[in-house]
Structure 1
Amino acid sequence: MEIYNNHKRLFGAAIILFIALTMFAAILPALNEEKTSTPLPGSKALTADETAGKGIFIREGCIACHTQQVRDVDMDKVWGSRPGIAADYARIRRTDVWRNTAMLMGSERTGPDLTNIGLRQSSQDWHLLHLYNPRSVVEQSIMPAYSWLFEVKDYAFPGDVVLHVPDEYRKGITGQIVATKEALQLVAYLKSLKQTALPDGKPTPIFLYGKDVKESGTGKAGTANKASAPQFDGAALYTANCSSCHQPNGEGLVGAFPPLKGSKVVLDDNPEVQITIVMKGYSGRISEGYGVMPPVGINNNLKPEEVAAIINHERSSWGNNAKQVTADQVKKIIASFKTDNSKTAK
């Protein structure tokens, strides 16, 4: 064929074929995906600091050990309330005409998945301590320390975020350990990673390959024991929501997170203060060197029964022996929050 003897026609045909294939195999499917996978209504674009933090996340190699994808398999339930969908990543746009935005879904889980870390762990103080020395909050952690994201000053200036590092991890440092702007930006990005709730009417993806849960029956096969109410494991809920700061032994971290072992709040027969702190957070001990506790109950959508289970675990562990609380007590106190808010609004 003459086309093989004419390099202009040969290369021209090759270019046309390449463009056609690119259009049908890449560009048109991508445009169609953009139309069908719009951002979820409750999602938010990253702020300037969060965007800068994302760049630091990439620069420091965090993507090598952490994923940001909740797969539709049962083992991924610990990372999010539902499997991820394309719309979860719809706000990831090109940086500019020449550069594409990095997708940080990852492929390795040497460390835990971070899809929902902003809700699982919303404490800025915890994240900063974890970056400075991961072993200070998670004893068995193999994550490297990012101490270069902090600086030591003789005196902290107004506006500085001082890190309250336990003595055993200060390594002889006598000054104030202060978070740099980059450390704060990285934490801002981590705290922005939250799984957005699906709008009403949209089917929720299911987790596959889960364990078959067989209901126990007392009579005919397949008849469930309706008399048995669901039980919540307070120890497991404490581990998932509280132990990273207050530690598995309830002793907290000196100068960082207060102890629950022997705590007056935990041992009080009236659970109102303890329930309020779990649901609304607390900042009353900043003067003692402790950070702000986030509203764990609200952030993690804890049910009254789950809050009661956590509180009862705290009240009966590590030598504590306080009066147990019921889910109804928790519901009553949570309902009082709404009453107080309505009075304040008036």
Structure 2
Amino acid sequence: MLDFHKNHKLLVGTAMFGFFVLSILVALMPAFQIQQTQPLPTMEGFSEEELNGLHIYVQENCMSCHTQQVRNIEMDNSWGKRPSIPSDYYFSKQRQDLWRQSPSLLGSERTGPDLTNAGQRQPGMEWHLLHLYNPRIVVKESIMPSYPWLFELKEESKIKDTDYLVAVPQKFIHASNKKVVASKKALDLVAYLQSLKQAEMPQNPAVGFIPSSKKIEPRNNGGDAVLPDGEKLYMNNCAACHQAEGGGLAGAFPSLIGSPIINDENPETLIRIILEGYDARPEFGVMPGFQETLSDEEVAAIANHERSNWGNTAGAVTLDEVKEIRSFVNSLKQ
């Protein structure tokens, strides 16, 4: 019979044995398993700017409000193309330096949106810089704090050619005679945020999203086919810059209200802008293209939402028109 209450050596020995067994199971074995994780074939390591941006992301404790983990439930499919896997964190789990362990980026609270695929969802540098300087500029309801210490106010005469000017509307700048210049820290942080893109799996993944019990049926947004919800797609992909009511942001993003491109009888220019992006107007930020991220049905749904709201009265875009224009755009690249 084991007499733990009298045999102290047996008690201490058993406790030590239990400690070593648990250490192996809980700490050592998972650590060795993590070392076997390899990146996906399409993943690339961080550039110097992106790595610096990762360190700034950690310094500013962005993980307290943002996660980087797409769970395998259907409600998370707006944050990524698939559930997260260990390989997604291969480069971010490297040690920061000799003294600092790899940062914990997963987060546990979504006070702000998940950032797993933020670089794909919102690739524009101008938007990220405005959002860091004052989130209310681009998202009126945002509760995210501003980060003005990542920027510098300069008089126009003192601005250098190497300075990166941020198109902040004047009403958000307290000094009327100064311009906002992004610091290197701000540019590096944005470079890191732009790098957050979920890599493609080499084959169709066996893991997928657990479907919701409630299905939302697509609705007809105009045209010959039943299209996805154009309003929801617009809010997810366009509203951050052009705003929910289509009014844009003076000096940064153009208004869609009464736009001749939106209301043109021929929708080719609008569809090409959605697919290829737009940077022909220097007074506004560069718009990224969505050719790789939006399907023909989604492009048609967004175009129809823009052409039939905020006083715009243009005709509906058909799925065939989008397919034809996408085919033409692809042919130009060959």
Q: TM-score interval w.r.t. the shorter chain? A: 0.7 to 0.9
Residue aligning to 1:329: 321
1:264 paired with 2:260, answer: yes
Residue aligning to 1:240: 236
Following the alignment from structure 2 to structure 1, what is the Cα–Cα distance between the partners of residues 101 and 242? 41
Cα pair distance change 1:95/1:151, threshold 3 Å? closer
Following the alignment from structure 2 to structure 1, what is the Cα–Cα distance between the partners of residues 103 and 166? 31
Residue aligning to 1:166: 169
**Cα-to-partner distance string for 1:280-311 (whole Å, 9 max, x where unaligned):** 1111111xx2111111x225x21111101111
2:236 alignment partner, SS class: helix
1:68 paired with 2:73, answer: no
1:176-325 counterparts in 2 under 5 A? 176-208=179-211, 210-213=212-215, 230-286=226-282, 289-295=283-289, 297-299=290-292, 301-325=293-317
Cα pair distance change 1:231/1:281, threshold 3 Å? closer
**Cα-to-partner distance string for 1:123-142 (whole Å, 9 max, x where unaligned):** 11111001111111111111
Residue aligning to 1:153: 154
Q: Tell me if structure 2 keeps the 8 A contact 1:77–1:207.
A: no
* Matched AA of 1:235: E
**Cα-to-partner distance string for 1:312-338 (whole Å, 9 max, x where unaligned):** 111111111112211111111111122
Q: Tell me if structure 2 keeps the 8 A contact 1:34–1:90.
A: no
**Cα-to-partner distance string for 1:168-223 (whole Å, 9 max, x where unaligned):** 21234321211111000111111111111211143242235x1243989xxxxxxx
**Cα-to-partner distance string for 1:29-77 (whole Å, 9 max, x where unaligned):** 3223332x32111112111111111111111121111111111223222
Following the alignment from structure 2 to structure 1, what is the Cα–Cα distance between the partners of residues 45 and 297? 34
Structure 1 moving runs of 4+ over 4 Å: 13-21
1:165 alignment partner, SS class: coil
Deviation (angstroms), 1:20:
6.4
Aligned residue pairs total: 321
1:47-66 counterparts in 2 under 5 A? 47-66=47-66
Q: Tell me if structure 2 keeps the 8 A contact 1:162–1:179.
A: yes
Residue aligning to 2:29: 28
* Matched AA of 1:211: S
Residue aligning to 1:225: none
2:119 alignment partner, SS class: helix
2:75 alignment partner, SS class: helix
Deviation (angstroms), 1:258:
0.6
* Matched AA of 2:296: P
Following the alignment from structure 2 to structure 1, what is the Cα–Cα distance between the partners of residues 98 and 132? 34
Following the alignment from structure 1 to structure 2, what is the Cα–Cα distance between the partners of residues 196 and 157? 37
Structure 1: tracts of 5 or more residues without a match: 217-227
Following the alignment from structure 1 to structure 2, what is the Cα–Cα distance between the partners of residues 230 and 199? 31
89-98 vs 159-168, which deviates more? 89-98
Following the alignment from structure 1 to structure 2, what is the Cα–Cα distance between the partners of residues 275 and 292? 16
Deviation (angstroms), 1:99:
3.1
Structure 2: tracts of 5 or more residues without a match: 219-223
Residue aligning to 2:94: 93
- TM-score, normalised on structure 1? 0.85
* Matched AA of 1:249: E
1:53 alignment partner, SS class: helix
Following the alignment from structure 2 to structure 1, what is the Cα–Cα distance between the partners of residues 60 and 75? 28
244-253 vs 164-173, which deviates more? 164-173
Residue aligning to 1:221: none
Q: Tell me if structure 2 keeps the 8 A contact 1:198–1:204.
A: no
Cα pair distance change 1:34/1:229, threshold 3 Å? farther
* Matched AA of 2:331: T
Cα pair distance change 1:105/1:305, threshold 3 Å? same
99-108 vs 194-203, which deviates more? 194-203
Q: Tell me if structure 2 keeps the 8 A contact 1:83–1:207.
A: no
2:199 alignment partner, SS class: coil
Following the alignment from structure 1 to structure 2, what is the Cα–Cα distance between the partners of residues 229 and 337? 22
Following the alignment from structure 2 to structure 1, what is the Cα–Cα distance between the partners of residues 98 and 72? 34
